Structure 1
């Protein structure tokens, strides 16, 4: 066997072993996360019970605010958080913030965002009839793009998340005319409520009451997961 052929054989074997390892890791992650899944105490919902949500229409990202607009909306969101006695657990703005915020709400840590993204993309891929009408591009291209780390989540992925996890996703927003958005699972009653803040079309954080001990926690690290 030539050096090149030997290298290709070793590379193929290594790739196969890596794929098997990834599959095993994914299965272990799913088991661990299902054990850690806990329902919120709905304290945030009680504080916002007087707000009427507007209908949610899934859509992809299309508008990026300028600095002036973003600063105004930042102040508006901070004002709303103060009024309702709420606090954000801030997550990294690395393009994965929607998935990190959802992970924090479901698993009390943003570090399972890869698993959350994978499950949402699987939902998109397995049920195209529910979402493709909202995507103004080739649908396969869309969900393949969403599978990439760092790709911004949008209102379509939020709907897919609500459907996949059986959760009502509630957004306290910075929008002038839209304080509160609510995304519910299609065709079934929600089993959980997930609360996020949504700033100026560009960033999500996880939302709790100021008194909630979750905002003072230190993330639990499981280095073997990621």
Structure 2
């Protein structure tokens, strides 16, 4: 409070010093040239308003009607509006002074008008007031979000004076009409914020989906990205469910492949045994023919067959069957090792997923707090 009183005292002293220049303020303002150049880049110019304590209502009257001499009427109307809406303005009365004294002082000629008077004037006439400042962004008092709402443009100088802002080509007669790009209203700011939020959410969603795909790939060793993406969609982006489904699909495919391998192996012994038996029969027939020619004892083909049948082909089949059994045991042990590794990877994937979810929740909470803060500032 003490700091505000000191600032108010300084402004009062400056106003008294400048009351001698009742016919103009800008002539002695050291920032006049810079401020003028700043507005000129926007096609605007300053209209000088006397620094007699009525500058705010003079500038607003010049903008609204083109006649600053009507400042006292606008002052009375503004004070009446504040009194009628006391509950909205009383909490913002400075220095803790009673509301009655505050409105009584504001109604007097030459009393400096501040933010409360700007807000009341804006609401009373349903206009938006744009306040230009030197080397600082414009401020806006918004009474209507309608695109057709009228704008009044004033300038704020050195913390204690208001001037009227007009187009460079404006002769200075009649109401002020500033045609330039309007400042964003509250609804515009909210829409722009929602648009930024959507873009950010989209980027975060893509990043999160990429992280999910990496997690599933790491846990399952599956390189089919399209399959992982489709499975994530089917499971509503549940990483654990996706990993489980991918592993089941891989197990089914592996089981299907394994079921075909023993069948192809068992065909070879049968084929080899059949070929050996045919060869034995051919050999037996040849020996029988030679024996008949040479007068030796004859061994018919049926005896040769009976001698060869229990021999090498049967032992070879037994060995290969035992080899196949050993191979199946090795494959089973390999699958068990793979399942143990996958269980470990699933555990790491779940931990990573939980950490990602926790981080996402924190980010959303931070975003909500930022949104609330921005909306508070906009208000």
Q: Classify the TM-score, shorter chain.
A: 0.5 to 0.7
Taking structure 1 as the reference length, the TM-score comes to 0.60
Matches of residues 1-226 of structure 1 in structure 2 within 5 Å?
62=8, 64=11, 73-136=31-94, 137-174=97-134, 176=135, 178-185=136-143, 189=146, 191-213=149-171, 215=172, 217=173
What SS class does the counterpart of residue 171 from structure 1 fall into? strand
Q: Distance in 2 between matches of 1:123 and 1:151?
A: 17
Q: Distance in 2 between matches of 1:92 and 1:140?
A: 28
Task: Give the 4+ runs in structure 1 shifted more than 6 A.
Answer: none
Bigger helix fraction: 2
1:206–1:71 Cα change, 3 Å: closer
Shift of 1:117: 0.3
What SS class does the counterpart of residue 116 from structure 2 fall into? helix
Q: Distance in 1 between matches of 2:142 and 2:129?
A: 6
Shift of 1:212: 2.0
The question of whether the paired residues in 1 share the 8 Å contact of 2:66 and 2:174 is answered with no
Deviations 1:111-139 (A, max 9, x none): 11011101100011110111111113211
Q: How many residues align?
A: 154
The question of whether the paired residues in 2 share the 8 Å contact of 1:103 and 1:113 is answered with yes
Shift of 1:202: 1.2
Q: Distance in 2 between matches of 1:76 and 1:143?
A: 36
1:188–1:82 Cα change, 3 Å: closer
The question of whether the paired residues in 1 share the 8 Å contact of 2:36 and 2:45 is answered with no
Calculate the aligned-residue CA RMSD, in Å.
2.9
Bigger strand fraction: 1
1:218–1:158 Cα change, 3 Å: closer
Q: Distance in 2 between matches of 1:104 and 1:218?
A: 8
Deviations 1:46-102 (A, max 9, x none): xxxxxxxxxxxxx997463989xx956445423312322211221211110100001
| Larger relative contact order, structure 1 or 2 (CA cutoff 8 Å, min sep 6) | 1
Taking structure 2 as the reference length, the TM-score comes to 0.37
Deviations 1:27-62 (A, max 9, x none): xxxxxxxxxxxxxxxxxxxxxxxxxxxxxxxx9974
Q: Distance in 2 between matches of 1:196 and 1:119?
A: 19
Q: Distance in 2 between matches of 1:193 and 1:150?
A: 25
1:114–1:144 Cα change, 3 Å: same
Larger radius of gyration: 2
Q: Distance in 2 between matches of 1:128 and 1:148?
A: 18
Q: Distance in 2 between matches of 1:71 and 1:212?
A: 22
